[in-house]
Structure 1
Amino acid sequence: MDFKNDVQALDALQKKFHELKTEISRAIYGQDEVVTQVLVTLFSRGHVLLIGVPGLAKTLLVTSIATILGLKYNRIQFTPDLMPSDIIGTEILDKERQFKFIQGPLFANIILADEINRTPPKTQSALLEAMQERAVTAAGQRFELEKPFFVLATQNPIEQEGTYPLPEAQLDRFMFSVWLDYPKFDDEITIVKNTTSNLNVELKPVISGNEIIYFQELIRKVPINDNVLKYAVNLAAKTRPGNDLSAAVSNQYLKWGAGPRASQYLVLGAKTNAALHGKYSPDIEDVKAVAPSILRHRIIKNYKAEAENISVEEIISKLL
């Protein structure tokens, strides 16, 4: 990672971004926007929650990304009987009658938390610490997780029997909440044609862990104008009903607004979005590009919005 200056490094990041998208497109069809948002989250050093009905290639998307990133990857299937020790690890008594800590599947660079809302809050909270602190506590000891550490969680929005809805504190740990929609007709034809034949796509690693860490640090050095910074903070403040900065739509339809972490992620996301698209400083359009996925899971509708069937997307659209 020997660049003459940060501008040259940002050019290299944009090139890597296009290489990553090209390689992913060999296995994933019709989810271009979703792939972009996942990569924005990765380079922003965040985590992403993927919400979509079964069969939209959520797991395949995560597996493909893990392959082209060339990082250690573990999939954890969340179930109602999963315990914190099942994901963190546990202590065992070895041959010398000494306690030895055996690492769980959480000790990897990329974690696929499949159907995260199917496990009890106790296990969810174990993941929460890892996401925020990049470390876990087991048997009174703190264990640092290897960098980069990236959690992609999936959630099924239609089958809600026997689920444990994620608490607001856990949702707030996710930088993006991304909705996966059904593929377009032409994309679905390509998907069906390729998955019902003997076509075998072998993806190759495009970027290393050290490069990802370097680019994550680079993103934080990207300059941002005060007017764009103020726009991002103001946008988050507008979602909070009952204060001087509240938007009329927030006072009318929201019970709770987004916290300060939303402002941080709006700025970070805008920086990353700008860098990946060849700009050296973000503008207001970059904030708008990442705002829906950042605000979607951080604002809570009131009874009036529910009664009038007003969606979160409509509220965010009015705020923008």
Structure 2
Amino acid sequence: MKKSENIVVGISIGDLNGIGGEIVLKTFEDSRMLEFCTPVIFASAKVMSFFKSHFKSEINFNSINHLNQLVFGKVNVFNCWNEPVNIEFGKEDIKIGSYAIKSLQAATKALKDNHIDVLVTAPINKHNIQSEDFKFPGHTDYLAQQLEGESLMFMVTDSLRVGLLTDHVPVKDIIVNLTEALIVKKINAVYNSLLKDFNIVRPKIAVLGINPHTGDNGVIGNEDDTILRPTLQKIKEEGKLVYGPYAADSFFGSNNYKNFDAIVATYHDQGLIPFKTLSFGQGVNFTAGLNKIRTSPDHGTAYEIAGKGEADENSFKEAVFAAIQIFNNRSDYEGLTLNPLKKSNQKM
């Protein structure tokens, strides 16, 4: 396993008019972070110098044009472009969106080529990134295409993990997308991530229902009875500890979520509203199921406070720590897989 400070964390800078630059600066102004990793920010030295001056930061950067110039124990900036960029905090700008994509594409290539170990993405604006060359609703869908595996949007903290069967799907299309194949694929992705990424030997997973009160025996829809319950039963017969469907309205308020290693919600707001209510500012968005590790903070560009020095970096910092921990856990798991004697001695 790599020494902790030699784990290379790639950072895509996100929307330059948002709070991404500020939270990256604030995270690595704490020099102790360099004991845990070596960061590489995919942007430009000119942009990062602008942020440093604007936010009166004391941070020092190592500017590089090739990833083999990286210096361990320093905050590296990989120059994805050299031209000046006009940054106007709080403004939605198509040109700024194109720089966010340049950063993401360069960081993703570095991840694929093993020049960085993990990727942490600062927030983007899903509207201004759209172009003829980039037609993805966000990071997750782009990375799912670029990297091997079956992607899963997995929101995580130390005490709460929420996965989604459908993520950035319009409400009117949720039922159309909820097939047996999708449910099996997503729950398997949650299960495998709990094993490999979180070192949980016998994961317990709760699944939330589709309809209010899981349909009330067909009174409020029959999809829970015709789609969800039969599929969960098949998964249980494989020996996985999967429970539900549970009525979503009372599941979190009753603290039932504390009895499980992960909760699987059927759609975006069903899972993310309680997750962000319980953990906002500490949560991490982890793209599970891929052959590489990507995390991000649980918030957006926050244009309304951009440039004011008011942004809270804690979620971004947690995303860095989560990426490092998942990298280590996955390395341990692969080591156990290669050495069954170690695995037999692992505590249950």
Same topology, TM > 0.5: no
TM-score range, shorter chain: under 0.3
User: TM-score, length-normalised on structure 1?
Assistant: 0.27
TM-score scaled by structure 2?
0.26
